[in-house]
């Protein structure tokens, strides 16, 4: 069986969300008051931009160390690639007895389960075995796509409703012992929030934090204006900007189906798996961007709304989410649809 791989060289961690391009601030981006920190993390890369009047080498080194340490801690907790991460250890726990977890893990799982409930299971962190079966997980490319029999069997061991949180521990209980969790659609957003909180604790008032395309901002850019963040056109054949979003004291995450997929028998197989059916999404929605106060929530909702496709717009309106949808047309063009809350933010 011949398979034409169309995955890009982007890190695998980016498969759960679309890359948001950072727009240069123009000539002012070269001002001494803008300080940029970057490096690898969580299977992708991070960029942090800080606006400060005075930042000597010692303070700059301290901030770099703080950012890296914060992200390293999140990776040590949430990675499903590291064999000794907190998540990997939890996945190897095959008992229905309570399992003690960190407060950070509890917080992420709580966000995940709330999103699952609000979206009718379109977001589900137990979907990992299905992602693996379609060739998008840590095991890598599958020999061939799973058939319905395999999907039905895997669905029997998935389901967010079979995960119970115990706040007094904090602890978690698997009602299905073989339940396996995958936090790739929410961990980067959480990492962004953790770095933002670390910068807040150091008294940094103006910054932009980006991890694998998920973004959080505070204050202003060097020009004194909102940070300008771009959403990429969801076109696998080119890298181009679709729209530029002014973002101030808010987060944005984007999920898309166009950077990580393959073709099988002329059919597009997306990495975005619908947890309710076990099959890759097949609708026309190409990307969804969500603006929220917390990046962890923007990250999760962007994934869920992409899975829901056209139905996601109605849910976003119902929940009052600021969401930007791009649907793929037969002629290769894209049509945007914007929720009321998103439109209101752009008008302010």
List, for residues 141-182, the tens digit of each pLDDT value. 666 788 999 999 999 999 999 999 999 989 999 999 999 999
Q: Is the dihedral of CA 144, 146, 148, 153 positive or negative?
A: positive
Mean pLDDT rounded to a whole number for the chain: 87
Taking the C-alpha atoms of residue 302 and residue 317, their distance in angstroms, rounded to an integer, is 14
The pLDDT, as a whole number, for residue 139 is 61
Q: Say if 180 falls within a structural domain.
A: no
- Which residue(s) pair with 287 in the sheet? 256, 326
Helix (H, G, I), strand (E, B) or coil at 171: strand
Main-chain dihedrals φ then ψ at residue 263, nearest 5 degrees: -110, 135
pLDDT tens string 88-139? 999 999 999 999 999 999 999 999 999 999 999 999 999 989 988 888 776 6
| Domain match, 161 and 209 both | no
The number of folded domains in the chain is 2
pLDDT at 7: 33
Residue 17 DSSP SS3: coil
DSSP for 220-267 reads: --TTSS-EEEEEEP--TT---EEEEEEESS-EEEEEESSSSEEEETTE
Asked whether residue 334 is domain-assigned, the answer is: yes
Give me the phi and psi of 113, to 5 degrees please: -70, -35
Asked if the structure places residue 199 within a domain, the reply is: yes
> Tokens for 266?
């002329």
Closest CA to 179 of 138, 122, 137, 127: 127
13-50 as b/e, with b when 16 or more CB fall inside 10 Å? bbbbbbbbbbbebeeeeeeeebbebeeebbbbbbebbb
pTM: 0.87
Q: Choose the final residue of a domain: 111, 142, 174.
A: 174
The verdict on residue 196 lying in a domain is: yes
For tokens 């597009």, name the residue. 268
Rounded to the nearest angstrom, the gap between the alpha carbon of residue 43 and the centroid of all alpha carbons in its chain is: 12
Report the C-alpha dihedral over residues 189, 316, 246, 112, rounded to 10 degrees: -10
265 near 290, Cβ under 8 Å? Answer: no
108 in a structural domain: yes
Judge if 151 and 254 occupy the same domain.
Answer: no
Give the pairing of strands 227-232 and 20-22: antiparallel
| Residue 322 maps to a domain | yes
Residues 70 and 214 in one domain: yes
In a domain, 179, yes or no: no
Considering the domain boundaries, does residue 331 fall inside one?
yes
Residues 44 and 112 in one domain: no
* CA atoms within 13 A of residue 343's CA, in its CB half-sphere: 7
**Percent over 70 (pLDDT), the chain:** 84
Rg (CA), the chain: 20
What Cα–Cα distance (Å) separates residue 224 from each residue in 35, 40, 125, 271, 287? 15, 29, 39, 39, 30
List 328's β-bridge partners, or say none: 334
Which stretches of the chain are DSSP H helices? 57-78, 86-91, 103-118, 128-133, 148-155, 187-201, 295-308, 310-319, 340-347
Same domain? For 63 and 142 the reply is: no
pLDDT value at residue 284:
85
Examine the fold and report which residue of 174, 207, 238 is the final residue of a domain before the chain moves on: 174
Q: Do 108 and 210 share a domain, yes or no? A: no
Tell me, what CATH number does 25's domain have?
3.10.520.10
Q: What is the CATH number of the domain that holds 114?
A: 1.10.3980.10
All residue ranges of the chain with pLDDT < 50 are 1-30, 32, 261-262
Q: Are 233 and 20 in contact (CB under 8 A)?
A: no
| 40 and 101 part of one domain | no
Please indicate, yes or no, whether residues 120 and 144 belong to a single structural domain of this protein: yes
* The two three-digit tokens of residue 256, written as one number: 């898309």
40 and 120 in a common domain: no
| Domain residue limits at 304 | 3-77+186-347
Q: Which residues of 113-133 are buried (b: 16+ CB within 10 A; e: fewer)?
A: bebbebbebbbbbbbbbbbbb
Token couple for 132:
């693996």
DSSP class of 167: T
Same domain, 301 and 197: yes
Query: For residue 264, how many other CB atoms are within 10 A of its CB?
Result: 17
Residue at which a domain ends, from 147, 174, 201? 174
Do 30 and 123 fall into the same domain? no
Cβ-proximal residues to 158 (8 Å cutoff; 6+ apart), any chain: 124, 126, 127, 128, 129, 130, 179, 275
Pairing of strands 44-51, 34-41: antiparallel
Task: Point out which residues pair with 318 in neighbouring strands.
Answer: none
Give the pLDDT confidence score for residue 270 in this predicted structure: 66
Instruction: Note whether 247 and 316 are same-domain residues.
Output: yes
């Amino acid at each position: 069986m011949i398979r034409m791989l169309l995955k890009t060289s982007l890190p695998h961690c980016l498969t759960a969300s679309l890359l948001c391009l950072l727009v240069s601030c123009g000539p002012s981006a070269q001002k001494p008051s803008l300080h940029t920190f970057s490096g690898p993390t969580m299977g992708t890369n991070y960029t942090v931009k800080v606006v400060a009047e005075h930042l000597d080498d010692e303070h700059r080194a301290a901030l770099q160390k703080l950012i890296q340490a914060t992200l390293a801690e999140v990776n040590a907790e949430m990675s499903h690639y590291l064999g000794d991460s907190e998540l990997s250890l939890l996945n190897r726990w095959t008992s229905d007895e309570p399992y003690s977890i960190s407060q950070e893990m509890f917080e992420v799982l709580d966000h995940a389960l709330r999103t699952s409930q609000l979206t009718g299971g379109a977001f589900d962190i137990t979907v990992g075995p299905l992602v693996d079966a379609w060739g998008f997980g840590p095991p890598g490319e599958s020999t061939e796509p799973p058939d319905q029999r395999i999907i039905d069997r895997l669905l029997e061991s998935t389901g967010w409703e079979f995960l119970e949180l115990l706040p007094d521990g904090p602890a978690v209980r698997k009602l299905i012992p073989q339940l396996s969790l995958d936090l790739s659609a929410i961990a980067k957003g959480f990492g962004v929030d953790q770095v933002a909180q670390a910068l807040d604790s150091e008294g940094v008032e103006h910054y932009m934090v980006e991890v694998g395309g998920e973004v959080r901002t505070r204050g202003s850019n060097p020009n004194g204006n909102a940070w300008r963040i771009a959403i990429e056109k969801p076109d696998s054949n080119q890298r181009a900007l679709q729209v530029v979003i002014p973002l101030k004291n808010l987060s944005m995450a984007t999920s898309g189906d166009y950077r990580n997929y393959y073709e099988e028998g002329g059919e597009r197989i997306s990495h975005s798996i619908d947890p309710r059916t076990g099959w890759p999404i097949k609708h026309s929605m190409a990307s969804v961007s969500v603006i929220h106060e917390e990046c962890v929530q923007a990250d999760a909702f962007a994934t869920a709304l992409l899975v829901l496709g056209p139905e996601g717009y109605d849910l976003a309106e119902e929940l009052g989410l600021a969401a930007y949808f791009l649907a793929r047309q037969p002629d290769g063009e894209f049509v945007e649809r914007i929720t009321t809350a998103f439109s209101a933010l752009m008008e302010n």
